[in-house]
Chain A
Amino acid sequence: MADVKKKIATRDAYGQFLVEYGEERESLIAMSADLSGSNKTDGFEKAFPDRFIQAGISEQDMFAEAAGIAHMGNVVAASTFAMFAAGRAYEIIRNSIAYTKANVKVCATHGGITVGEDGASHQTFEDLALMRVIPNMTVINPADAVSTKILLRELFETKGPAYVRLGRSGVPVIYDEDADIRIGKANIVREGSDAVVIATGLMVSEAMDAAEILSKEGINIRILDMHTIKPIDKEAVIQSAKDCKAVVTAEEHSIIGGLGGAVAETLACNYPCKMAMVGQKDTFGESGKPAELLKKYGMTADDIVEAVKSLI
């Protein structure tokens, strides 16, 4: 594992990836609905001005245009805040992108509560659920900057619609550059057998902190990084449930319909076992600093510790 003190936002890794990949692939077109500095498409804009489309504050139009562009033989990275991608443009992503299998990657930044000060109107806890339920969609939510780049490369090399959730705030780098990370395959980032924490996005590093706390009390947890929400790695979920007997999911997302939902569906049908969910508890957020908000709304290492203890 890499030096855990280094923090990089996954949106920054996305911005770097776009520039690198744009060099290699001439058919890549990037789009932004304003917010280019925030969603990190500005680097691509500078490097490839002719292949950057500024859609203005028109998210619905951007995603329908993205579908049209993709059907001309291009691969499209279209970016805005997760709220306005998965939320505002939902039906366009469903009908014009997913139904037509358009090669559009919806690269949504500012997912979850760590948007922080902007408050509830900009904090989405529904995006993974909304995107997961659409046929043909691949949904990923990387845990750190390194895995973001690795997963994006595979995603952009694979034709078809996809949703990527990226974060605003810096998150610890947990992977080495040569880590084996593949779409649809959960990574075991810590071995253990007293319980398994299946985490996604920034909650993976929270889970690692939780593991440290628990190990002092003699509890050894396994941690799965479920960076791919869809298709969920059923095999890893079932195997870990069998090995550990207790399953905790952890996500910076509603406990309804996201990672927790996907894991519960898998286990209910294959290997029912004790389960607890850490995430946003069916409520809106508010303004505040990311760390304060994670604490207030119950998405920290301490909350994972408590959830694990409630099961064993």
Chain B
Amino acid sequence: MKTVKELEDLARKVRINALRGIHAAQSGHPGGSLSIADILVPLYFNIMNIDPDNPNMKNRDRFVLSKGHACPALYATLAERGYFPPEDLLTFRKIGSKLQGHPSMKMCPGIDMSTGSLGQGFSAAVGMAIAAMINKNPGYIYVITGDGELQEGIIWEAAMSASKNKLDNLIAVVDWNNLQIDGIVDNVKKVAPIDKKFEAFGWKTIMCDGHNIPEILNAFEEAKSIKGYPVVIVAKTHKGQGVSFMKDAAGWHGKAPNDEQFEAALKELEGDI
């Protein structure tokens, strides 16, 4: 278990290493990676029952990054947690690397589901939670989706399955940064009100500040205490959080920083540690 201060420092490290990989590849998705760093770190260090030395441990908790394009943050978190050496992050998106542009469970240890095509990871996580119930596997299934991703119809098909099957072993997080490639989510195709939509689909919802680690830890603990319902944590986040010129800018969804921008971003992030 890490202290809040340790988790905050780790989240900064994850941001730095995620950007390092994207910069080395000159390709990838910085905005959405920075917006989920403060969710992934508490999850992987304090919440989930996992063993980096035994990534396929039978009754482990599982994690699905349904917004697979944000994998630089996931890879950096897995590296900090000891699944593979942080140097490997520099192979991101390069030929022969286990760190594919979108996560591949067959190539990278610690990845519980291959994702990239939006919506499918969420639905697969529902399937995992159903199987865990049938198999009497005590593990929890965690899944992070983007808010723009909620425009995919499969999300709502799966949301109905989850409540129908009373999946209280399923905890979803919506990374509510309100930006997608073509602009503001609610202008592109309105998904708000996210909490009321999930409630109407039979879920329990928890709202939290997605960059406030104590709030995030509390939200996960509260989610685990709810029985008989799947739970969604709607985490208010900022795309590009931690780097002033990337923050809340849709243009940084899928663009790698050049050398100068990368140095400027590092200076901001490292200044905090």
Contacts and interface: CB of A to CB of B under 8 A. Distances in A.
Nearest to B133: A50
A58 B127 contact: no
A73 B106 CA distance: 15
Interface string B103-144: 011100000111011011001111111111011010000000
A56 B117 contact: no
Given A58-B157, A100-B105, A65 B135 contact: no
A67 B131 CA distance: 10
B154 interface: yes
Contact of B161 (A65, A91, A92, A101): A65
B160 A56 contact: yes
Interface string A52-94: 0101101011001111111111100000000000000001100
Contacts of A100: 105-106, 113-114
Chain B interface mostly: helix
A276 interface: no
Contacts of A65: 123-124, 126-127, 130, 158, 161
A55 B134 contact: no
B153 interface: yes
A96 interface: yes
28 contacts: A51-B134, A53-B165, A56-B157, A56-B160, A56-B164, A58-B161, A64-B119, A64-B126, A65-B124, A65-B158, A67-B120, A67-B124, A68-B123, A68-B131, A69-B130, A69-B131, A71-B112, A72-B128, A72-B131, A73-B58, A74-B131, A74-B135, A95-B114, A96-B124, A99-B106, A100-B105, A100-B114, A101-B106
Interface string B13-39: 000000000000000000000000000
Nearest to A26: B135
Interface of A: 27, 29, 50-51, 53, 55-56, 58, 60-61, 64-74, 91-92, 95-96, 99-101
A64 B160 contact: no
Nearest to A51: B134
The 8 closest A-B pairs by CB, nearest first: A68-B127, A65-B127, A64-B123, A61-B157, A72-B131, A68-B124, A58-B157, A68-B128
A72 B61 CA distance: 11
Nearest to B132: A72
A68 B143 CA distance: 12
Contacts, number: 103
A67 B128 CA distance: 8
A307 B93 CA distance: 51
Given A55-B161, A64-B126, 7 more contacts: A58-B161, A61-B123, A64-B154, A65-B124, A69-B128, A95-B114, A100-B106
Contacts of B129: 68
Contacts of B131: 29, 68-69, 72-74
